[in-house]
Chains A and B, each alone.
Chain A
Amino acid sequence: MATRAVAARVLTGGEAVAEAMRQIDPDVVPVYPITPQTPMIQGFAKFAAAGRVHGEIINVESEHSAMSAAIGAALAGARTITATSSQGLALMAEVVYIAAAMRAPIVMAVGNRALSGPINIHCDHSDSMLVRDSGVVQLFAENAQEAYDLMVMAPRIAEHPDVLLPVLVCQDGFTITHSAEPVVLLGDRSVKKFVGEYHIPFPLLDLSAPTTQGPFAMPDYYYEVRHQQVAAMSAALAAFEDVAGEFETLSGRRYDVIEPYALDDAERAIVCLGSTGGTVKDVVDELRSEGERVGLLEIRSFRPFPVERLRSALEHVGQIAVLDRADSPGGLPPLFADLTATLHGTSAELESYVYGLGGRDLHPEEIRHVFCAPAGAAVPVYLGLRSEPCLV
């Protein structure tokens, strides 16, 4: 595909998603506004008002309705995109499970924000973790460029015939959604061609082949239908790789389900999701210049969790600090729990750190501390929490 990227523009992550949505030009966009998702939808609504997109925005009365309308539209045969954050995702959650079970390939941009309470508008990943087991793909962006690129890739992954699952493109609220940085956009026609036509196996509006969708399933079939989602999730790993290959041809930018950084000879590594990876890279560079063998592994695809890839990327690393931007009171933080199981049987020593809840900043000094702290710390350590004794 002959393509030429246009020059970089200065955009927030939210604006970048709005641009991606304009270029994808979905048929239906059912949305309800919530901070920090608002700039995505506000931006797209401006494009719609200016007649630059053909799709229909449905101003629904809640996020529960937004996801319900999205399921109907996506299964009717319309490419459908929505977006939300925090309480919006919580209100949607019941229907998110149904979207996955009905195999509706909806794309949803998420501006990650702490769940209430106390009520808060800033970033953590508790909203994503709430739908962790719902059967939706969750991709995490490190910055606005990645949010844009993953958004362009998302319909292809969602609509892949072996996948047919909702895909959530997650970006950290405010840190990415509202922070302006250079973003290279693809050409409008290139994106349109890349995403192609929308196809699903049983469009409800195909009156020549009527179907019942979302039927009741008793104990003799529930388990089987749910297991189809497990297989679809496995297929999503391969679909990501295929789509990423085509996207590289188009853009020159290569994505993978994991992103190792200075990991090959690392003795100590951090594993994290989202924008924090950018800060960790700076600290890794500093420590490397001081002769420390440290590295980073950013997880791009949190669901499906790339177990085999993570195991082979991390098993040679002696000490691994897992940074969770969500807590599980009374339990283990979600990323730490997943990684501990993933690396079971290897010699890797894992430590758990919770950080950044409700938008609490994570400073480079704290990341240095994580790299330099002795292994075997309490599980978990609460970074940035006042009175936590072992911090800088």
Chain B
Amino acid sequence: MSELKSWTELPVGGTVSPGDAEQPRTGSWRTGLRPEVDLSKCVNCLLCWLYCPDSAIRLDGTTFVGFDHDVCKGCELCEVVCPVGAIGMVRDGN
């Protein structure tokens, strides 16, 4: 965490400008399971990207390349919507 600011250092009304906010690592309180992909099965339909509630699907242009585990909360939706069984959940920390 960066140093917390005093009331005199904050912009009026707590207004936030671009770049002010720290990127939160919400993946730190994941459920205990995290998604992994077998890219050899992936057909790049991007349903996982569409459904992911946490924008945790990483793309290179329009190509699926993996997960951003810093923001993934382990909800398993990607595994459920994947039409070809390319995504599976594994125990975190493995």
Contacts and interface: CB of A to CB of B under 8 A. Distances in A.
A105 to B, nearest CB: 11
Interface stretch (B14-22, B30-38, B47-55): B14-22
Contact of B7 (A210, A212, A224): A224
A102 interface: yes
A227 B14 CA distance: 11
A215 B4 CA distance: 16
A331 B28 CA distance: 48
A211 B14 contact: no
B23 to A, nearest CB: 15
B93 interface: no
Nearest to A227: B7
A231 interface: yes
Interface size classification for chain B: 10 to 19
Nearest to A213: B15
A215 B7 contact: no
A221 B14 contact: yes
A8 to B, nearest CB: 40
Contacts of A221: 4-5, 10, 14
Given A224-B6, A224-B7, A225-B7, A217 B14 contact: yes
Nearest to A232: B12
Interface string B43-75: 000000000000000000000000000000000
A210 B19 CA distance: 11
A214 interface: yes
Nearest to B14: A225
A228 B15 contact: no
Contact of B13 (A103, A209, A220, A231): A103
A212 B16 contact: yes
Contacts of A211: 15-17
A202 B10 CA distance: 13
A215 B12 contact: no
A103 B12 CA distance: 7
Interface in A187-217: 201-202, 209-215, 217
A217 B10 CA distance: 12
Nearest to A204: B15
Contacts of A164: 12-13
Contacts of A220: 4
Contact of A224 (B10, B15, B17): B10
A211 B13 CA distance: 11
A209 B18 CA distance: 8
Contacts of A231: 7-8
A220 B10 CA distance: 12
A101 interface: yes
Interface in A213-262: 213-215, 217, 220-221, 224-225, 227-228, 231
A202 B21 CA distance: 17
Contact of A215 (B5, B8, B14, B18): B14
Nearest to A230: B7
Given A220-B4, A224-B5, A213 B10 contact: no
B22 to A, nearest CB: 12
Contacts of B21: 212
Nearest to A231: B7
A235 to B, nearest CB: 11
A136 to B, nearest CB: 14
A13 B14 CA distance: 37
Nearest to A222: B14
A71 B64 CA distance: 42
Contacts of A103: 12-13
Contacts of A202: 11-13, 15
Given A215-B16, A231-B8, 12 more contacts: A101-B14, A164-B13, A201-B15, A202-B11, A202-B12, A211-B17, A212-B21, A213-B16, A215-B15, A221-B4, A224-B7, A224-B14
Interface of A: 101-103, 164, 201-202, 209-215, 217, 220-221, 224-225, 227-228, 231
8 nearest interchain CB pairs? A225-B14, A212-B16, A224-B7, A103-B13, A227-B7, A102-B13, A202-B15, A211-B15
15 contacts: A102-B13, A103-B12, A201-B15, A211-B15, A211-B16, A212-B21, A213-B13, A213-B15, A221-B4, A224-B7, A224-B10, A224-B14, A225-B7, A228-B10, A231-B8
